[in-house]
Structure 1
Amino acid sequence: MTADEQHLWILLRELDRSGNAEFPEGYDHAATRARFDQLVAEIDAQFSCTSKVERDAPEASYHGWIIIPVDATASADFITIIVSNFGDLAVVTLGNPMSYDKEETDYLLDAADHSRITNMLSRLGYITVPEHLSWADYDGVMNLRSHATSWLDRFFFWT
């Protein structure tokens, strides 16, 4: 495990203890929405497209999804970005989450596409969690095991 991955695990575990299942203590929906909308605008400008966006996720641990159409990318499939309500976390997936294993993603997700997305996320203060890292079994402190079987479920799917 790399030092960056160790740091992410520490962060994920801290965030797991930071509030309820849907959002952490001190969560500011208006600020989170404004930054998410800025991300959508930047993605659409960078990729010369109109992304498919889900903004309404009541009672969920994620704030929203952005799907960049395949014809706007150099990648082999559309690209999905999911923004969590927790700790400025974001995950980037090729296709739907868990559609491709790590090796397939490394091969099929164009490096320039990935770099543009992660640079935008970083510039806006998001922390990108590698999808393969989030696949680990959820073993956190919240009593979510019947709903969240992985850390991806915990921070990017749970409703």
Structure 2
Amino acid sequence: MGSQDLRSAAERTLGLRRVNEARSTDTTEQRLRELAADPLRPVRVWTARNPRTPPDALAELMQDADYGVRSAALYHPRTPAAALALLARQEAEEAEAARLPNATAKRHVVAHHPNTPPQLRDELMASDVCPGPLCGIAAESFSRPTGGPHSMGDVTGVVPDPPVTGEEHWWRVLRALDEPGVMGSAVGLEFPSDFDRATTQTRFNQLVGRLSEAFGCPLPGGQGPQQDAAHFGVIRIPADVTRTVDHRSGARLPLAVILSNFGALTTCLPYRIGPARDAGRTPPVHQEDRRHVEQVSAELQLRFVPEHILGSPYEGPNQWVAAPNEATWFWRFFGYL
């Protein structure tokens, strides 16, 4: 073994130690400031997620060259007001220069951040960066603890389905999108009457790109919509970059992120294991995986629908298409019809 191999192995060991430091809630604020400037991306990502990272380090991470680092810092509850204001101003200037008035993903998040100054928040909301009642950003997006050491493939971060809060909001949204279909026509059933394929394809391509950055690997895209289905496309995330596991075997699971043809709806679920009759209940998506998909969806002004909502029985005007007692809201907006 040559000296270069030895040096590389030593560097990898030191890099892993710094990653563990960045993930640990026992690391001091001063050390986290140092780790915020680390040349290794995983170190900076975990520093941006550590709940103890100080505001000045987060301000630095907000200007990082890496999307995943910037995104983690943007959602951190300690990110300072000045850094949020700077990001909002930068995006506005870039959008104006590029003549892209709808490029508001970052300002959309800033408008909901708890540290955003009230005046700036009012200005952003008045400029329509947020879709209002249909917004997909929840307040808890900025308060989830993400630090702490976790081993690869463990299940300590797996959480059950979210509590049934805000259900009436989702029922209003889904029922408003549920157009009655007619025999022999895809309109209303597979896609809405005002469906714009080009716009939805652009939205899907953006989702593929952002998820590739968030999970740190290139993900395949594709052309939509899918035939005889209510979804436009499925983005498959391989098991080696997820943290969702099969509780029986302990094996990590691949994920599917799905974009509906209706209302910019998205959702995420693990692939089922084995035949459907033997697979049992689909395991919950790990909180870190869900956080990635929720954040990307919110930044693109897509609406991430919770699992417990989609698993509820469907009772809308298109029940005649489904087999008896098998229709769910997932089937209605993400399944094959």
TM-score clears 0.5:
yes
For 1:60, give the aligned amino acid.
A
- Larger RCO (CA under 8 A, 6+ residues apart): 1
The runs of 4+ residues in structure 1 deviating greater than 3 Å are 52-56, 96-102
> Structure 2: how far apart are the matches of 1:30 and 1:115?
28
Matched, 1:80 2:274: no
Structure 1: distance between partners of 2:166 and 2:259:
19
Q: How many Å separate the matches in 2 of 1:5 and 1:54?
A: 32
Cα distance in 2 between the residues matched to 1:70 and 1:119: 20
The Cα of 1:59 is off from its aligned counterpart by 3.4
Given that 1:39 and 1:124 are in contact with CA atoms closer than 8 Å, whether structure 2 keeps it comes out as yes
- 8 Å contact 1:55–1:65 — kept in the other structure? no
- 1:13-62 per-position Cα deviation (integer Å, ceiling 9, x unaligned): 11113761011121111000001011101111221223354544123211
**Max Rg structure:** 2
Q: Report the secondary structure of 1:118's partner residue.
A: helix
Aligned amino acid, residue 145 of structure 1: A
What's the RMSD between the two structures over aligned residues? Answer: 2.5
2:188 to 20, 40, 47: 20
SS in structure 2 at match of 1:138? coil
For structure 2, the residue ranges without an aligned partner over 5 or more in a row are 1-162, 181-186, 246-252
Calculate the TM-score normalised by the size of structure 1. 0.84
- Letter in structure 2 aligned against 1:139: E
Which runs of 5 or more structure 1 residues have no equivalent in the other structure? Answer: none
- Greater share of residues in helix: 2
Q: Deviations over 1:109-142 (max 9, x none)?
A: 3322211110001111111111222122221012
Match of 1:115 in 2: 291
Matched-pair contact (CA < 8 Å) for 1:94–1:100:
no
Q: CA deviation at 1:96?
A: 3.8
CA contact (8 A) 1:49 1:69 kept: no
Cα distance in 2 for residues equivalent to 1:4 and 1:65 = 26
3-state SS, counterpart of residue 166 of structure 2: helix
The count of corresponding residues between Structure 1 and Structure 2 is 155
CA distance in 2, matches of 1:31, 1:119: 21
Which is strand-richer, 1 or 2?
1
